[in-house]
Chain A
């Protein structure tokens, strides 16, 4: 068929049934919308699954309380209970455990409350220092100086049968500190 014949074809053809054409039009719109929703909903659900399936922090055993001398703050590391099998090194997490009294523990996330960088503990001066923007916290986790908007994030802890456990796993952020 040459171009000329093609362009003339509709003029020569018998006029189509307008009703059939309208049904065809509507059908294509409805089916198009349906197929978009059918394909789109699972795709969005897949991508947004980290929100739809919100894991809560889990209890992790950190060992006997005797491991934590009184009046001292120690860095502990543990495997993130919510990690994926292929997380590699990033499955590990760290936290600071401070034994303030015989049965009083405070556990801090290492993430600075300003922008999440890892704070370092200096037992000599009893301060946590952040290397990024210079946030400083006192030994009890309260804000000492610099840009952080609050004290260190505190992780829930409990002592049972002489062992210390903490609840951890989620990355703490300002609106979801625990």
Chain B
């Protein structure tokens, strides 16, 4: 038996030559003391493999037709055995892939691993980063629900701002004059064929270069990269190095296994994402939100000054790509250690701080009106206690005229405008009247929407907000000085 197996293996190896081709790669020497910071790249790859496998599985049930995609997603979630789990794993390993890719890129930037002679490895990695983000966006569209429909609309609106060719680009993106069947098919084609193929086309030379140029050693302060001497120094390090297999390989394998386990744990705990409401554009009450990766962009587009917005949408990505592409050519030499590159460390920290703050803001979205507050969130009881009939009328106007959608009382309601719990401590009667009638500071003018009597009543109600009521405890906000 053993000899038969041995013969088969021997025959295969004779024809394929795998042992002579692969063994040197497995045991190629790597510098000593790499530690655990070098595992993120292979973890990204593991997530990508998981994406491909679960993606193929989903594609054999999912129907990429605008008429049936939504039903097939519901079928996957509820009827197809383990369909919910595969959808969930596909979603969470997409998240894992983006997270691991960002960790990997951050490690490479902080340790200066993009410097000589690994510039091309970095460029291919930058390409992989954008392909991955493209996969994330197109995948979100395949979840053909309300968020997907309006998400494509947002993509089209941004594309439509490109000078001159904007409208043509919109129609190429949508595959027609409006969002519909051909839009979904285009995004399906991109997500399932074009982008994965592109990812593999970039990944193969990326990995080839990892082996050919070798893994960068741990950076040490005071040992700058000099292209004149680097190769000799690196050869010396390799001569004293250890084979990649088994120990460094095992670190990669162990970390990847942990990532897969975490993805499955998240998938089982939280399940698949969506689909949200059906992709019916006549359901106006939709409140579309992008997947988490793009929340900072969502926030940025709410907060940027309108006159700069088109520039931010169109120029910022170009500048971002240019910075990443030029990085190894501008900073291809010199110190690698983050201890000697404070500017790089600061820029990285700043990037994550900005991303984190925008992400949090995108989650909270204080600029979005609370569409149901006018009818669903009543004026707190203590605020209407002991009010005169006119003031009560004002409180009713405040609710009916949907002021609540943008203005909170006691923290409840829209956050678009300021919380009016204590507004009378900030604005006097005349100022309130002016603000209501003329608007300003991002508030619409209500002059045409309110009768003089309604304005009078509203302002008399607002003038009570923040005034200590006789016998009632002062609102906590006043004590806090808000």
Contacts and interface: CB of A to CB of B under 8 A. Distances in A.
Indicate, yes or no, whether A interacts with B: yes
Interface string A71-101: 0000101001011101111111110000000
Nearest to B416: A134
Interface string B166-200: 11101110111111111100000000000000000
Contact of A115 (B154, B177, B180, B282): B154
A38 interface: no
B278 interface: yes
Contact of A92 (B168, B280, B298, B443): B280
Given A124-B400, A147-B302, A173 B371 contact: no
A48 interface: yes
B54 interface: no
Given A84-B181, A117-B153, A129 B369 contact: yes
B170 A88 contact: no
B132 to A, nearest CB: 23
State which size class the interface on B falls in.
35 or more
B306 A136 contact: no
Interface string B265-291: 000000000000011111011111000
A76 to B, nearest CB: 9
A114 B157 contact: yes
Given A88-B68, A93-B178, A176 B170 contact: yes
Nearest to B442: A145
Nearest to B445: A144
A57 to B, nearest CB: 8
A141 B446 CA distance: 15
A117 B288 contact: yes
Given A90-B179, A131-B369, A171-B177, A54 B449 contact: no
Contacts of B170: 171, 173, 176
A118 B284 contact: yes
A35 interface: no
B405 interface: yes
A167 interface: no
B158 interface: yes
Interface in A136-178: 136, 138, 144-149, 169-171, 173-176
Interface in B283-305: 284-288, 298, 301-302, 304
B177 A175 contact: no
Contacts of B298: 132
A131 B180 contact: no
A52 B70 CA distance: 30
A127 B172 contact: no
A55 interface: yes
Nearest to A111: B153
A124 B171 contact: no
Contacts of A80: 178, 180
A170 B282 CA distance: 15
Nearest to A122: B402
Given A90-B280, A138-B444, A145-B439, A173 B449 contact: no
Contacts of A170: 177-178
A94 B284 contact: yes
A115 B157 contact: yes
Contacts of B280: 89-90, 92
B373 to A, nearest CB: 11
A175 B160 contact: yes
B88 to A, nearest CB: 25
B146 to A, nearest CB: 9
B442 A175 contact: no
Contacts of B166: 173-176
B306 A90 contact: no
B66 interface: yes
A144 B445 CA distance: 7
- Residue from B159, B405, B444 having most chain A Cβ neighbours under 10 A: B444
Interface string A10-40: 0000000000000000000000000000000
Nearest to A147: B306
Contacts of B369: 129-131, 134, 136
B282 A77 contact: yes
Given A50-B177, A127-B402, A175-B160, A90 B282 contact: no
B178 A82 contact: yes
Interface in B419-443: 439, 442-443
A168 B16 CA distance: 62
B368 A125 contact: no
A126 interface: yes
A77 B70 CA distance: 21
Contacts of A84: 66, 176, 180-182
B84 interface: no
Given A125-B449, A171-B156, A149 B67 contact: no
Contacts of A86: 65-67, 181
Given A83-B178, A90-B179, A171-B170, A176 B160 contact: yes
Contact of A131 (B68, B287, B446): B287
B178 A129 contact: no
B18 to A, nearest CB: 20
Given A94-B284, A131-B286, A175-B166, A147 B309 contact: yes
A9 interface: no
Interface of B: 65-70, 149-150, 153-154, 156-161, 166-168, 170-172, 174-183, 278-282, 284-288, 298, 301-302, 304, 306, 309, 367-369, 371, 374, 400-403, 405-406, 416, 439, 442-446, 448-449
Interface of A: 47-48, 50-51, 54-55, 75, 77, 80, 82-84, 86-94, 110-111, 114-120, 122, 124-127, 129-134, 136, 138, 144-149, 169-171, 173-176
7 nearest A-B pairs in the assembled complex, by CB-CB distance: A173-B160, A88-B67, A144-B444, A116-B157, A116-B153, A77-B282, A50-B171
Given A51-B168, A86-B67, A133-B367, 12 more contacts: A82-B178, A86-B66, A116-B153, A124-B374, A130-B369, A132-B150, A132-B368, A136-B369, A138-B444, A148-B306, A171-B156, A173-B160
11 contacts: A86-B67, A89-B281, A90-B66, A90-B181, A118-B284, A125-B449, A131-B287, A131-B368, A132-B288, A173-B167, A173-B170
